[in-house]
Amino acid sequence: MAENTEPKRIVAIGVDGSDNAKAAFNFYLTNVRQEGDKVYLIYAVEINHVLHSTQWYNSPYSFDRDMLIKLLDEEKERIKKKLEKFAVLLKDAGIDGTVKSIHAESPGEGLCKGIEETGASLAIVGTRGMGTLRRTFLGSVSDYVLHHAHVPVLICRHESDHDQYKGKKH
């Protein structure tokens, strides 16, 4: 009899190297993980961030082609190093998984795109715990994913956020 190699469930976890993303990954490990899960760690690279970090996007000066290529190559290397760190997380946890980078206009859009591309049936993201007013004006990656992903979304608060909510009625 042939062994079924299809994963029972595909889980997409948004990662960016922050403590909040690590908390979401750790929450998955301790509370959500099931035998047979396939996990995709999705790193959404914001196109505008890449352009701004190369210091030419809003510059009044022009750069030669070689300079621009050098700056973009440096950014690619920075992204590659982050992805390698995320791969170590999966390996150290003994998880069947893959690291995936998605380029998009915004991190939330990138995560939703990655969730769809991987065929995930569950998405997990961290949150910075912004208040309603800040989230309204600044936007929120977790809020975007919650409202645009077509699968259930689990939003994990970092432990340091728990103290501000103790004893408060919601």
Which range scores top for mean pLDDT: 23-27, 118-122, 127-131?
Answer: 118-122
26-40, 80-94, 155-169: segment of lowest average pLDDT? 155-169
Q: What is the pLDDT of residue 100?
A: 93
* Structural domain contains residue 49: yes
Residue 154 lies in a domain: yes
DSSP character at residue 165: G
Q: What is the mean pLDDT of the chain?
A: 80
Residue at 109: amino acid letter: E
CB within 8 Å of 27: residues ≥ 6 apart = 124, 154, 156
CATH number at residue 35: 3.40.50.620
Question: Does residue 46 fall inside a structural domain?
Answer: yes
* pLDDT category of residue 170 using cuts at 50, 70 and 90: very low
Burial class (CB in 10 A: 0-12, 13-18, 19+), 41: buried
Q: Which residue has the higher pLDDT, 151 or 161?
A: 151
Position 95 in a domain? yes
> Does residue 2 belong to any structural domain of this protein?
no
Q: What pLDDT is recorded for position 70?
A: 81
Q: Is residue 126 part of a domain?
A: yes
> Which is more confidently placed, 130 or 17?
17
Q: What's the number of domains the chain is made of?
A: 1
Q: In this structure, what token pair is assigned to residue 134? A: 């800040």
What is the side-by-side strand order in the sheet with 97-104?
97-104, 37-46, 9-14, 122-127, 153-157
Q: Is residue 3 assigned to a domain? A: no
Distance CA 127, CA 107 (A): 13
Domain residues for the domain of 73 are 9-160
Q: Note the pLDDT of residue 99.
A: 94
Residue-level pLDDT at 57: 52
What is the DSSP secondary structure assignment for residue 55, as one 8-state letter?
A: T
For residues 76 and 81, give the distance between their C-alpha atoms in angstroms, rounded to a whole number: 9
